[in-house]
Chain A
Amino acid sequence: MAEDLNVEVVAADRKVWSGEASIVIARTPEGEIGIMSGHEPVLGLLVAGPVTVRSTGGEAVVVAVSGGFLSVSENTIAILAEQAELAGEIDVAAAQAELAELGEDGDGARQWAQARLDVAGSR
């Protein structure tokens, strides 16, 4: 077994999660990307949606991100999003209200609300 990954999930105004992990799965505009230890350095964009971090303890940490990017180098993964929330932190009612209020307009905000609902629904 190779070394563990060092993962940091950072939002614009706080550090959301950090720790050791065995695999990180995220969504880029080109499709899903799974990163395990020893991965080559990557700097990729993320679309709004879930990021799954399987920590070394075996449990899965799911984070909703509003889009952003991830950088991988030397077994260190940084996931940066303007907004990010752990699955457990998501306020479903608030996200639903936001989604209803936005209606058809507000692309980014809409995707962010939808991403939170998706993540909250799967927990």
Chain B
Amino acid sequence: MGAQLRELRQRIRSVESIKKITRAQELIATSRIARAQQFAEAARPYSQALVRAMEAAAERARLDNPLLEGVEEPRRSAILVVTSDGGFAGAYSANVIRQSEALAGLLRDQGQETVPYVVGKKGVSWFTFRGRELGGEYVGFTGKPSYADARRIADDLLEAINTPTDEGGVDEIHIVSTHFRNMVTQEVRARRLFPIMVEDVPDEIHQAEAGAVRSDNGGSGGSSNGRAAARTDVLPLYEFEPSADEVLDALLPQYAGNLVYTALLDAAASEWAARRRAMKNATDNAGELQESLTRESNSARQAEITQEISEIVGGADALAAAGSE
């Protein structure tokens, strides 16, 4: 067997085994999407009840919390960037990083410093490779985030926003993560978590928000107006225990934890969806490659046979010619 043919057969075999691996990855990712969605579904009752309670408390409490009020001229912002731990997910992490850089540029143009808080190994290595200083790094759970992970991140962010800006604290918290719209579409979103913005707004507003993060800068009450407007029915006249202020102060950290948790779950579902798609493409490509390599090896084999035949025929001719002389 000729060297070329042997090499082709070897390549076919290796493509075959790569295809098996990507195929398995694709199937794993498909099952994980469903699981991530179940987690997101299970977290929904808590989010809804929390938002309702927040609205009730916010109506009655004084709103001087840094999480609600914000400052006139923010000087430093934290950006929570949600990427993935693993690769094999196409441009998933790259898209998030690109969007977060765009947001950071936008904030810098408005005279703000930015501090990245990064979730996922891919993002962490991207930022550390460029020598950026990280506010926090969180790795090891992006495929299956737990509430404790979210709590840890939220605690760090809250600590930063409660620290005066001069002592290294931040004035605003933004998050850049991927939203799972459906199996084929996931979109990167940049949102401001704190000071609080309108809840449950249509998607278009979320998208526009990335381009207009500080457009509500003019009115200092901009952040609190929309919150009450999101709900039209009348809230019951609650009795607060111990007081509306204390209830609100206790609710806000929980709300922060919940926001981060839902963002992580959304991102996890998106990550698996991106991975599934990347692996499906890889499997399809491996199939095509295998086909073309098989064609090549067939023609190489045929060429070899043809050559051998012509050698034999040529040899026999030469012998016959030699014998007849």
Contact = CB atoms under 8 A, between A and B. Distances in A.
A82 B56 contact: no
A82 B251 CA distance: 11
Interface of A: 8, 10-15, 28-30, 33, 40-45, 68-69, 71, 73-74, 78, 80, 82-83
B239 interface: yes
B43 interface: yes
B237 interface: yes
A14 B42 contact: yes
Nearest to A11: B46
29 contacts: A11-B46, A12-B46, A12-B257, A12-B261, A13-B42, A13-B147, A14-B42, A14-B43, A15-B42, A28-B241, A29-B242, A30-B242, A41-B236, A41-B239, A42-B238, A42-B240, A43-B53, A43-B56, A43-B238, A45-B246, A45-B247, A45-B250, A69-B250, A71-B56, A73-B238, A78-B53, A80-B49, A82-B254, A83-B147
Interface in B190-248: 236-242, 244, 246-247
A11 B238 CA distance: 22
A80 B53 contact: yes
Q: Which of B45, B242, B257 has the most CB of A within 10 A?
A: B45
Contact of A42 (B43, B239, B251, B261): B239
Interface of B: 39, 42-43, 45-46, 49-50, 52-53, 56-57, 146-147, 150-151, 236-242, 244, 246-247, 250-251, 254, 257-258, 261
B241 A30 contact: yes
Contact of A69 (B43, B247, B257): B247
B49 A33 contact: no
A74 B237 CA distance: 11
Contacts of B250: 45, 69
Contacts of B242: 28-30, 44-45
A123 to B, nearest CB: 24
B241 A33 contact: yes
B153 to A, nearest CB: 13
B254 to A, nearest CB: 6
B236 A12 contact: no
A33 B241 CA distance: 10
Nearest to B246: A45
B73 to A, nearest CB: 34
Nearest to A33: B241
A41 B236 CA distance: 7
A78 B46 CA distance: 9
Given A43-B56, A45-B250, A10 B241 contact: no
